[in-house]
Structure 1
Amino acid sequence: MKRWSVMLACLTGLAGCNGTHVTDNPGPPKIIVDSDYNTLSDDGQLGVMAAQLQATGQVKVLGITVVSGNQWLKQGVADALKSVERLGIDKQVGVYAGANYPLSHDFATVQRELAEYPGGDGYLGAWSKPEPQSESDLVAPPDGFATHTQVQSKSAVDFIVETVKQNPGEVSLLAIGPMTNIALATSQHPEIVPLIKQIIYMGGAIDVPGNTTPTAEFNWWFDPQAASMVLRLPIPQVVIPLDVTNTVKMDAAVYQRVAHDPTKQTIITQLFKQLNGYGFDGKNGFETNPGYATNVWDTLTLAYLIDPTFATQTTQRWVDVDSSYGANDGKSTGYATSPPAGLQKMTVVQRFDNARFFDLYVDLLTRPVPVKLAG
């Protein structure tokens, strides 16, 4: 009890932790982007938007930590390296390799579980393709691999731990992939828990069905044990679940603003058009299907970070994830009352100011590249 009391005191700035007093910092929010990175789907789009916000002094991106999820770790790292190089921020923002496998799921379990409990869209992310064994197995981004940017020698877990300790009470974690890296960092070094400012997730499905399975959202389904561990940590936490992302849809009008403004053509808008206009299968997208639309996911976390009033409706819930094998593996539940022991209340976003968000989204994705950094 004493240990947790000290940790909570540290969290509120009332006491020091390991000799360090936690205080508010008036500078721009400091963030670590923990991501199952990709070229220019939602994770890659967030990378672009964060770089542009950093250029205007609105955030400070301390690093990108990569985890398997949408893609296997090696592919995600390759895409992240090219991203920071493409944006011109490779000297300021390092890329750190993290967990390649979830804490609990393995391929045999995933196959058996989905066969026994079918439904959802069946999206498996990394599990749907062979794991790359070498650089020759990787798929280059449309504009090629990074030519001079290397992954950092420090692991993602060590980077999270050391960065939080160096910036007590100042680091926000944008958790936009499976939570394996964060679970490992906080379990191996629990002393950092009271030093983390907040975690903002894209994950879970509280009062709506899942997507990968009938009950589970992909990020939390990929490693439900890690999600369950992190949600129990006494850290301020904000969840942006499918409940809200299902209601934030990019339609053809928004797509046109990014892809077809003749005054704002960059490598980012070109890639955006290629990957969203023709779909990641090269067949189904805004350019080929007049009725095409897609949800927006991870980038909502960044908008919320810089201005929580983007969320027009929120609720306070105790949130948990089922990490047991079965039909509800990865299912998230929000408790309004009588939560299971060990949970804490957190903010669950339910609705967003879509029009205002898409103005930000279009603006940041169409600014000049390489990014001109502040200072």
Structure 2
Amino acid sequence: MKKLLAFLACALCLAGCHGGLSSASHAKIIIDSDYNTIDDDGQLGAMAAQLHAQGAVDVLGITVVSGRQWLQQGSADALKSMERLGVGAQIGVYSGANTPLTHDLETVRSELAKFPEPHAQLGAWETPEPMFASDLKAPPDGFAQHTTLRRKSAVDFIVDSVKQNPHQVTILAVGPLTNIALAVLQHPEIVPLIKQIIYLGGAFKVAGNATAHAEFNWWFDPEAAQIVLHQPIPQVVIPLDAANTVVMDKKIYDRIAHDPNKHTAVTQLFAQLEGYGFHHNSGFETDRNFTAHVMDSLTIAYLLDPRFATETVDEWVDVDIAFGPDDGRSIAYLKTPPTHLGLKKMRVVKRFDNARFFNLYVDLLTRPVPVKLSG
């Protein structure tokens, strides 16, 4: 009875405190991610796990792809994340693509040599690829001890999940799009069965965060991005244009890291990694004026309630795949583009309700670790 009352209280709080989040009740989701411990991907994972444990959404699984870090490292971080939250038996982690469809390090180096980008962010390509388990870096609280990768590949998992749940699966695409591109290329029959894709990706009227012109997720594998964007699937894009306006400051950080009544494994990691930075020399604890953009978790907020997006526009979206300085650049057409381009109209988010979003964000990142669910 106590557990039932607690569940109902959580559900009422989520509906009442956050303005009614009923649109995604029991939504089935796949998180496709270049996962990390508790940065933007890890924060999304923690929030989704809490909602899954509550029964608000059904997280079918996490599919990992190389991007900000190599596939093996992202997989290790995802496994520990689910185990840390007590949902490792419920939310499987599936290993996906380790390299983009066509790009490789040699291609990128050649491109940057011809078109210099002094501040280019190369993600996984900035570090040697791990070849052995000993090459992986453990999260601060260690590697997963009981949670292991599921045997099925990420691509097969996406395909099978969509076929088993036609018109019900939403994919939160918060990494490079290689896994999804391979899934729709190898099994085009799933395309009309996908309910929707919600991206954190692209940059239209703001500078990129990989190169001056390109957002990282779409730049790392632009061919994959173009393939997926051209599919006749309902799609929502949350680009850097919107994400750059959702800024966490010290006050928001303190609500998560320093609430004495909400001390959990997640808040402890948050304080350690967001407080001092991943190189231990910059963060909210070392600079009171430090700020950070909140990105990937915007996708699950939009899924819960599209009214989190206070300004949207419907546009035809594409990505540049021409070798050169514009590789990976996002393109949007407000008026009908030439038909030969094969573009699809989709919703592009311009602004978010920041105050309401941060209430949700703080709530989900400070909840007690869910009671371990049966497998």
Deviations 1:114-138 (A, max 9, x none): 2332347421110100000010100
Tell me which moved more, 182-191 or 110-119. 110-119
1:26 and 1:173, CA in 2 relative to 1: closer, same or farther beyond 3 A?
Answer: closer
- Please give the alpha-carbon distance, in whole angstroms, between the structure 1 residues aligned to 2:371 and 2:332: 40
**Contact map agreement 1:239 1:346 (CA 8 A) in 2:** yes
Q: Give the equivalent residue in structure 2 for 1:206.
A: 204
- Which residue of the other structure, out of 286, 291, 294, is the alignment partner of 1:293? 291
Which of 218, 223, 245 in structure 2 is aligned with 1:247?
A: 245
Q: How far 1:26 moved relative to its partner? A: 9.0
Task: Name 1:361's counterpart in structure 2.
Answer: 361
Per the alignment, residue 17 of structure 2 pairs with: none
- Matched ranges for 1:266-345 at <5 A: 266-340=264-338, 341-345=341-345
Moved more, 48-57 or 341-350: 48-57
After the TM superposition, list the runs of 4 or more consecutive aligned residues in structure 1 that deviate by more than 2 angstroms: 114-121, 370-375
C-alpha change, 1:216 and 1:226, in structure 2 (3 Å) is same
AA matched with 2:253:
Y
Identity of aligned residues (%): 66
Alignment of 1:61-80 (within 5 A): 61-80=59-78
Out of 124, 127, 131, the position equivalent to 1:126 is 124
Per-residue CA distance 1:140-189 (angstroms, 9 max, x = gap): 00000001111011000000000100000000000000000000000000
**Equivalent residue of 1:314, what SS?**
strand
Q: What amino acid is aligned across from residue 108 of structure 2 in structure 1? A: V
Q: Which amino acid aligns with 2:87?
A: I
**Residue in structure 2 matching 1:31, options 25, 29, 32:** 29
Structure 1 contact 49–364 (Cα < 8 Å) conserved: yes
Distance 1:26 1:362, change over 3 A: closer
Aligned to 2:155: 157
**Aligned residue number for residue 178 of structure 1:** 176
CA 257–70 in structure 1, closer or farther in 2 if over 3 Å, else same? same
Where structure 2 has 5 or more consecutive residues not aligned to the other structure, the ranges are 1-22
Distance 1:346 1:221, change over 3 A: same
TM-score computed with the length of structure 2 as normaliser: 0.91
Equivalence for 1:224: 222
CA contact (8 A) 1:123 1:211 kept: yes
Q: Give the match's secondary structure for 1:39.
A: coil
* Amino acid corresponding to residue 163 of structure 2 in structure 1: K
Aligned residues: 351
Deviates further, 209-218 or 184-193: 209-218
Q: How does 1:185-200 map to 2 (within 5 A)?
A: 185-200=183-198
- 1-structure distance, mates of 2:145, 2:327: 41
Hey, what's the Cα distance between the residues in 1 that align with 2:55 and 2:92? 18
TM-superposed CA distance for 1:374, in Å, is 10
CA RMSD of aligned residues (A): 1.6
1: distance between equivalents of 2:178 and 2:118?
23
**Is the 2:219–2:327 contact (alpha carbons within 8 Å) kept by the matching residues of 1?**
yes
DSSP 3-state at the match of 1:319: strand
Cα deviation for residue 268 of structure 1 reads 0.4
What letter matches 1:76 in structure 2? G
Separation of aligned partners in 2, 1:118 and 1:26: 44
How far residue 339 of structure 1 moved from its aligned partner, in angstroms, is 1.6
Moved more, 198-207 or 120-129: 120-129
Residue aligning to 1:350: 350
Contact 1:245/1:297 (8 A) holds in 2: yes
Kept in 2: contact 1:68–1:99 (CA 8 A): yes
One-letter amino acid of the structure 2 residue matched with residue 91 of structure 1: A
- Cα distance change on mapping 1:81 and 1:271 into 2, 3 Å: same
Which amino acid counterpart does residue 32 of structure 1 have in structure 2? I
Deviation larger for 363-372 or 114-123: 114-123
* Range with greater deviation from structure 2 (187-196 or 207-216): 207-216
Give 3-state SS (helix, strand or coil) of 1:96's partner: strand
2: CA distance, partners of 1:31 / 1:321: 25
TM-score, normalised relative to structure 1? 0.91
Asked if the contact 1:52/1:371 (under 8 Å) is kept, the reply is no
| Paired amino acid for 2:179 | N
Mapped contact 1:120–1:210 kept (Cα < 8 A): no
Give the SS at the match of 1:351: strand
Query: Aligned partners of 2:119 and 2:53: how far apart in 1?
Result: 38
